[in-house]
């Protein structure tokens, strides 16, 4: 089933590595492709193509399975909560579209069906400039998720 289509803030893998998927912070998911594309164009035109994101590396988190409203993928993850001042601009725009949004901006470093496999890593807090991307996250396998534009 996956997570449909959506928008991510994508960061450089050379700055923060994820083992088998594109490193990202989700802005929206569980969207139809045409609606996600409209949201992408809307965000880019009103907010620009990038956003600085602060990652709270000193406090890794575990994210429960079925995190989103329409989520029944039964996969959990670990990662870091994040903050972006631009979320204050993004959220009202995203609210105009039918989509799921994160309760808290975060990045997932690893996904699995079992928390016991995770070995979260502590690191200093850090900021990365991220790019807004339209994504296809329809696969159940994170390694198959891809950027459309």
Q: Look at residues 140, 113, 149, 147 and name the one whose alpha carbon lies nearest to residue 23.
A: 147
Residue 135, phi then psi, degrees to nearest 5: -130, 150
Signed CA dihedral, 42, 44, 46, 52: sign only: positive
**The pTM is what?**
0.92
pLDDT score for 51: 97
- Helix pair 87-94, 33-47: axis angle to 10 deg: 140
State the alpha helices, DSSP H only, in 49-132: 87-94
Q: What is the pLDDT of residue 70?
A: 72
Mean pLDDT to the nearest integer, 51-69: 88
pLDDT above 70 (res 71): no
CB 149 within 8 A of CB 133: yes
**pLDDT tens for residues 89-129?**
999 999 999 999 998 999 999 988 887 889 999 999 999 99
């Amino acid at each position: 089933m996956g997570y449909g289509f959506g928008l991510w803030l994508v960061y450089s893998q050379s700055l923060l590595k994820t083992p088998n998927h594109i490193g990202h912070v989700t802005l929206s998911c569980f969207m139809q492709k045409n609606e996600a594309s409209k949201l992408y164009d809307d965000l880019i035109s009103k907010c620009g193509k990038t956003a600085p994101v602060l990652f709270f590396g000193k406090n890794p988190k575990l994210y429960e399975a079925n995190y989103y409203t329409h989520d029944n993928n039964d996969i959990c993850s670990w990662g870091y909560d994040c903050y972006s001042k631009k979320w204050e601009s993004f959220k009202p725009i995203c609210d105009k579209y039918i989509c799921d949004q994160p309760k808290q901006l975060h990045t997932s470093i690893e996904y699995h069906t079992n928390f016991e496999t995770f070995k979260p890593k502590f690191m200093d807090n850090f900021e990365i400039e991220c790019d807004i991307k339209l994504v296809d996250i329809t696969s159940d396998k994170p390694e198959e998720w891809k950027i459309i534009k």
